[in-house]
Amino acid sequence: MDHHATTPVDPRVVEAMLPYFTEHFGNAASRSHAFGRTARKAVDRARAQVATLVGAAPDDVVFTSGATEADNLALKGTAPRIRERTGASRLVIPRTEHKAVVDSARRLAREGFEVTWLDGETDGRIAPAALEAALDAGPPVALVSVMLCNNEVGAVNDVAALGALCRARGVLFHCAATQGLGYLPFEASWAALVSLSAHKLYGPKGAGALVVPKRGATRAPVVAELDGGGHERGMRAGTLAVPLLGGFGAAAAIQAAEGPAEGQRLAALRDDLGRRLGQAEAHHVFGPPAGPARHPGNLNLAFDAVRSEALMVALDDVVAVSSGAACSSASIEPSYVLRAMGVDRERAAGSLRFGLGRGTSASDVERVAAAVLSAVDALRKRSPEWRLRGEALDW
């Protein structure tokens, strides 16, 4: 139940990839022979499949090694060019964004950009009114970046409204759409730049994309971070990983076809898990309430007087869960997303993130919920904090 960190590769995706490791091993840039042309056809098919998932045109899709590279390219490959053209040198970034966006913004700040760090709502969403106020207060803005769906608390942003605010002011809008694609409504036209990753869609690790939709005859001014060969219309150099991209395309096609129904199934399982865990005394759910404002497979909560590290150790033989984003799992600090939402340090340190996925069943939910409740009870019995709490209530 840690599908927000990554997903298993769907067997249908593996089947689509296999021929391009051995039989069809050509370089997609080699157009002088059949091996290269076959590889090129596979890449073109994948590009069209990924484009369909996000409502874009195939030539809008720039393949990368993943969403982290796409996020870096979206910010560091555009903001300096915009500053050169217009003089705008301010970025607007929510504090709850993925580390790939947050750290890219910090790098740009060291290069002279001003960053307006946007506070989210207490449920993790970014209010259009808050973005509008940030856009209209201060120096001209070069770029805004807001994710479709928060990878820790499942908060779904109104990307259409946020993008419209930016377009009305001529500001470039980037959306990291890695989480929730296929489950949530999304159109690439809502943003000037969109980041994707295959491994959150039951595709392979090592494949992603930056979608750069045309607006009229123009696109966002992306300058390549990698040089060498002019691949991907000059926006990203390097020999294309044909097997991985073929898998990316297959995964996108499956998600486009099956995602809506799967989202409903996951939401029902997530709600059942929430009801079962809600039997525990003094628990707290983080993020929006269940419904369209929350990722259907996400549940993030904490139990008073229980540290997430101890709880995960107790559950290690039962279920894989996390206390936050995988990109920050080496940190011993409480989740920066929860802290930015106003959650106090102690409670944030007890957070547990469940990410349900394609392989999760109703029996899994029942078994995991029982194990969590048992572990919470056992840990609380050994907790001086919980004992003092009970004595205070008795008094």
Q: How far apart are CA 30 and CA 27, in angstroms?
A: 5
Kindly list the distances between the CA atom of residue 351 and the CA atoms of 95, 191, 260, 278, 283, in Å, as whole numbers in the listed order. 18, 32, 28, 14, 10
Question: Catalytic residue numbers?
Answer: 327
How many Cα atoms sit within 13 Å of 65 on the Cβ side? 9
Query: Do the beta carbons of residue 91 and residue 79 sit within 8 Å?
Result: yes
CA Rg, the chain, in Å?
Answer: 22
Cβ within 8 Å of residue 275, ≥6 positions away: none
Q: How far apart are CA 122 and CA 193, in angstroms?
A: 27
Give the 3-state secondary structure of 235-297: CCCCCCCHHHHHHHHHHHHHHHHHHHHHHHHHHHHHHHHHHHHCCCCCEEEECCCCCCCECCC
| Nearest-10 crossing angle of helices 79-86, 67-76 | 10
* DSSP code of residue 26: -
Q: Which residues pair with 215 in a beta bridge?
A: 218
Cα dihedral across residues 56, 126, 222, 40: positive or negative: negative
DSSP string, 323-358: SS-GGGTT--SPPHHHHHTT--HHHHTTEEEEE--T
Give me the amino acid identity at 392: A
> What is the β-pairing status of strands 193-197 and 208-211?
antiparallel
Q: Which residues pair with 208 in a beta bridge?
A: 64, 197
